[in-house]
Amino acid sequence: MGCQCADSDSRSDEASEAHRSAATVLGRNPYPHAFLDCHRGLPLLLLLLLLFALGLPVSGKYSFDDIEIAGTADVSLPLPRPFDATACSFHHLAQQQKLLLALQQLQHAKSRPLIQDAQVEALIKASLSGLITEEAERFIKFGRQAEISVKLKFTNRGKSPVSSVFILLPYSEATQLGWITASGQKGKQLEVQSVLPPLPSISTLRWEDWGLRPLLLEQTEHHLKSASDGGGNSFVSPCWPHIFRLQLQEALPVSESTTLTVSYVLGRPYRPVPRTLDLESIQSVLFATSSNWPLPYKTLRSTLSLQLPPQTTLGEEGERHMSQKSFRKLPGEMWKWESTDPIDPLEIMQPFAVIFPLPQHLGYVLTMERLLVVPLSGTAVCKDLYKVHNDAALQEGAFNPVTIALLQGLPPGISRLAAKGRDVPRSERVPTHVLFDLHATLPPDVFNLDVGDSAGNLTSTFASRYGPQGARLSTHLEVWPRFPVLGGWNFDLKVSYDMPVSSLILQHGVNGGKISLNIPLGPPFQDLYAEYISLTVALPTGAINIRYSSTVEFEYVEETTVKWWLDVVTSRPALRLKWHSASLPPTEHKGHYLTVTFDYPYSVDLEHLKKAFILFLLLLIATISTVLYHWKLRFSNTTEEVPAAAQYVAFGRLKNELMHKTEAAICEGRVYMESMSAARRGNPESSEKQKRAHEQEERWLESMRQHEADLIASLEAAPGTNGANSSVGVFKKALERHREAVLAFTTALLNNWKEKTEEAIQEVEASTEHLRGLAREWKGSSLKQHEA
């Protein structure tokens, strides 16, 4: 595993670098005020005592790398796991214990200048309070997450009442804390306060041997034991524990006892073993902890109970290993350890590791970004972005779709959408570490629900209301990713919905312009732990004096502004918050909420004014467009507008004249063709009729020449046309084509050529349409494009 202590090559090298090592430790220690200032003239004995408490020179083989911290855009695999910092956490607990002993041996007046760090001061206060832990019973329930419950019985053996109790979590647990709560004897909730701000996320550490399980287990426990004893070299990484203060409801009198219960959830407690696995295999996970729960008080009796997941066993080898650790097996796959030996403050007793199969996906929300737009009335809009990661073992070998279908209990080739049908045969799901579907719980009154992935859609999404008709309790959302999320894979999810803003506003908070909002903070997904959470709450335009309160300790809070719909010249005040991790608490515990309070000094909702302003702009634009259209305004000087208008009118008249003359020529040709057809019905071979036909042909040709002359005269008289010559040529060719088509018809008709008569009729129709098109589309420019 990554928590490895480097061995020292020689003690002489460490002794020769004592001064450099001390400077290195002081430079890297996050609590520099807790150490001696050499310029204050304290005795050399005290300096040596504190240097002993700080440990041996640091080793550069164990270090964090901020570059490897997972970001929202791209993630390098494998992702960091808090498990890899377990040994480092135990080592720093041992260092804290040595520091605490060193400070306790000093006189109060001399140690007071050293205690300028909040965590060190809390540890000193706890050690001097006189509290004794009579019993510490810890219960760990393994699942996709690790649920831990600790029952503590304290007795005040000091000289004064105690109003607060301090507890601590090792760094490896504090960096994956989903939620934590504490209660008193009668189940009343106690306030849990962090002595210092929450710890940042852990970074990736070195991977250890992923070989045989016994070898891996032995190596893990060897490093845990070496680190908890404080031996070997110090770790470079600052894996300091995180201390919490529990404020009692009533001060605990002297010689009295009280019982407290601390419950919390670890979001990513395991490391999959082995690192890679095929789809058919059942993954195992490795969990490491100490037999006792470290406390800043002396503990007289300590117990630990481990509850394995359903239908899970440790196997013969695992049971033998637990028996060697003095664990005894209880019914229901529960293992228990207990010790009546007194345990000193901050002492780590018997660190160990346990391996067991866990056929579940280890999916968690890698990043969670939320935007909530809250108006004063109407509808609130929520837009969420989730990046889900499966922390399970990576896939080994090729992807097999048949195996994926069988793991879901589906016949190969059947889509997952068809699995919802009752007529599709489906067997029970096979336990696997592949993530197939997600389940979320949304507010009961959401509507306009829209779900999509990074590509814009999903394979399938199902939503339904839960609860009796008229009194819905929640909205259940079921999401099936487009592809099954294997170990090490990511999946982006976008969820947006609307909800009545009345469900967020506290009615008792609306008084004289003062409005309070109650916003849930927990992730919506069931059994899914979330990290890197950010929430932006956009308030109504005009909101002032923004305040907030919450049981969650935020890492970052900023007041800013955002733009939303209708914000043309305005913006909305917003509250942006960020915190490290969260998970849904069990049903018996209350979730976390954010209360935002602001003042609204206006008697009218400004959103209505925004809508009125937008309507006014639209009406103004429509009015201006109508006026410009009717007045026919042109952005040019007046000297150019008048000739252009006159030329436009002249062209319109000329175009109508051309169309009229063209229709006259076409009509006269049609009359000539009808007269020839009527003459053909009698005796066409008589000399009188032949003479009459010849005369009609002469009159028609003369009329066509007159029409052609009129058209050409009109075209040549067109004002300001540069392409008149080309237009005249085009019209001449069109008239000549029409004349030849009519003559071809009369010739074929007189000679009784039926086929040629039909062809001539088609050519007459084509030439007629060509002439009409020229007259209709003429714009005073070149008409060469019509020659085709």
Residues whose CB is less than 8 angstroms from the CB of residue 445 and which lie 6 or more positions away in sequence, other chains included: 472, 499, 500, 503
Hey, what amino acid is at 633? L
Query: Could you tell me the CATH number of the domain that includes residue 194?
Result: 2.60.40.1730
What string of DSSP letters covers 289-310? EESS---SSEEEEEEEEEEPPT
CA 399 vs. chain centroid, Å, equals 26
Identify the residue whose tokens are 């003479």. 691
Q: Which domain holds residue 473?
A: 366-393+433-602
Whether residue 608 lies inside any domain: the answer is: no
| CB 599, CB 513: distance < 8 Å | yes
Same domain for 280 and 170: yes
Closest CA to 333 of 353, 351, 318, 349: 318
| CB 4, CB 62: distance < 8 Å | yes
Same domain for 765 and 676: yes
Distance CA 388, CA 528 (A): 9
SS3 646: helix
Same domain for 377 and 341: no
Same domain for 384 and 270: no
Counting Cβ atoms within 10 Å, is residue 620 exposed (0-12), middle (13-18) or buried (19+)? exposed
Distance CA 630, CA 638 (A): 18
Whether residue 407 lies inside any domain: the answer is: no
Same domain for 666 and 529: no
Same domain for 657 and 581: no
Same domain for 547 and 666: no
Whether residue 677 lies inside any domain: the answer is: yes
* The three-state (H, E, C) secondary structure of 195-211, written as one string: CCCCCCCCCCCCCCCCC
Beta strands at 131-142 and 298-307: parallel, antiparallel or unpaired? parallel
CA 786 vs. chain centroid, Å, equals 60
Cis ω before 274 (30° cut-off from 0): yes
For the chain, the domain total comes to 3
Q: Which of 330, 357, 384 is the last residue of a domain?
A: 357
Same domain for 677 and 576: no
| CB 423, CB 397: distance < 8 Å | no
Terminal Cα-to-Cα distance of the chain (whole angstroms): 83
SS3 128: helix
Whether residue 422 lies inside any domain: the answer is: no
Closest CA to 368 of 467, 282, 440: 440
Residue 56, Ramachandran bin (φ over 0: left; ψ between -120 and 50: alpha; else beta): beta
Whether residue 204 lies inside any domain: the answer is: yes
Q: CB atoms < 10 A from the CB of 252, how many?
A: 20
- Average confidence (pLDDT) per 10 residues, the chain, 788 residues: 35 34 32 34 34 31 29 44 86 87 70 69 88 96 95 93 94 91 88 78 40 65 82 68 92 93 94 85 92 95 95 88 93 92 93 92 92 90 92 85 84 72 74 91 91 73 83 87 87 91 72 82 88 92 90 89 78 91 80 88 77 84 84 56 63 77 80 77 63 77 79 70 63 81 80 79 83 73 41
Closest CA to 431 of 363, 371, 499, 359: 359
